[in-house]
Homo-oligomer: A and B are copies of this chain.
Amino acid sequence: MFGGEGVLKYQAIAQEINQYIKDKHLSQGDKLPSLKELVVLFEASRSTLVKALALLESHGKIYQVRGSGIYVRSDHKAGYINLLEAQGLKLDSQTFDDLSTVVSLEEVTPSPSVRAALKIPAGQKVYYVSRVRYIDGQAYCYEESYYNKAYVTYLNEQIVSESIFTYIEEGLQLKIGFADIVVKLDHLNQTQARHLKAEEGQACFLLESIHHLHNGAPFDYSLIRYRQEDVAFYLQTQF
C-alpha cells in the first residue's frame, strides 16, 4: 500500500501536523485536536497516529500529556542552529539561504585520523572539499570535508557548490543513515581566520562529524568551524 514513492504515512501525517502548527501560528502550550479526532481527520489507524505524534515529540515539536491532550512546544529560536536537524533531518528544512563558496576540491591522500574516521585502507585517496558558507552575505562557517571515494564516486565544482547531501541521496541514490557529532572549542588558525574574516587565534566552535550510510558505512568526515559571535546551537530533548 505504501510502495513506490517512499513517503511513509506516519511521516506524511507528522509533516502535515507540523505544517498545521505553523499555518495556524500556534505556540507553546496551545492544544491540538485529540488523538481520536486526528485519527478521523487523517484517515489512519490509531497506532499510525501515535507513531506520527511520537515522531513530532522526538523532534521537540509537541508534547503529550496523558489524560489531558496534545500541546505544541516552543518554536525554534530564530538564527540558532538545531543540532538535531543541522545535518539533514527532513522535518523542518528551513534551509536558510545557504550560499557557499568552494575554496578547493581535490583528491588527496588522507591523514591517519581521516583514514580512521572513514575506515579507509592505506594507499587510497579521498575527496577533499573546503567551503565557506554565507548567510546574508556574512561568512559564518568554514567547512572541510573528506569523502570516501568508494561511495561518493564522483564530485565536481558544480555539485560541490550546491548541496552535496542532496546529490548523494538523489544523484548517487545512496541512503544516508546516521551521524556521530562532536562539538569542541577551538581557536582559528591563519587560514581559517582569513576565510571567516576573523582574527587568528580567536575562539570558535569546532563541529566534527562522521556521516554513515544506512548500512553503517562511513562516507563523510567533516570539520566545521563557526564564527563565535554569530552562532549558537540548540536542541530539544525528552526524558
Q: Which residues of A contact B (CB under 8 A)?
A: 28-29, 58, 60, 63, 65, 68, 71, 73-74, 77, 80, 83-84, 87-90, 176-185, 203-205, 212, 214-216, 228, 231-239
Closest residue to A58 on the B side, CB-wise?
B58
CB contacts (< 8 Å) of A177 on chain B: these are 63, 238-239
14 further interface pairs, Cβ-Cβ under 8 Å (given A73-B178, A83-B83, A87-B237): A60-B178, A65-B215, A74-B180, A89-B239, A178-B236, A178-B237, A178-B239, A180-B234, A180-B236, A181-B234, A181-B235, A181-B237, A183-B234, A185-B204
CB contacts (< 8 Å) of A228 on chain B: these are 185, 203
Contact present for B234 and A176 (CB under 8 Å): no
Contact present for A237 and B68 (CB under 8 Å): no
Cβ-defined partner of A83 (8 Å) among B74, B77, B235: B235
Closest residue to A235 on the B side, CB-wise?
B181
- Closest beta carbon of chain B to A37's beta carbon, Å: 20
Contact present for B179 and A237 (CB under 8 Å): yes
CB contacts (< 8 Å) of A74 on chain B: these are 180
CB contacts (< 8 Å) of A212 on chain B: these are 63
CB contacts (< 8 Å) of A80 on chain B: these are 182
**In the complex, A90 Cα to B237 Cα: how many Å?**
12
- Closest beta carbon of chain B to A175's beta carbon, Å: 8
- Closest beta carbon of chain B to A56's beta carbon, Å: 12
CB contacts (< 8 Å) of A231 on chain B: these are 185
**In the complex, A63 Cα to B84 Cα: how many Å?**
17
Contact present for A237 and B89 (CB under 8 Å): yes
CB contacts (< 8 Å) of A214 on chain B: these are 63, 65
Cβ-defined partner of A185 (8 Å) among B176, B205, B236, B237: B205
Given contacts A182-B234, A185-B205, A239-B178, contact A215 B89 (CB under 8 A): no
CB contacts (< 8 Å) of A71 on chain B: these are 216
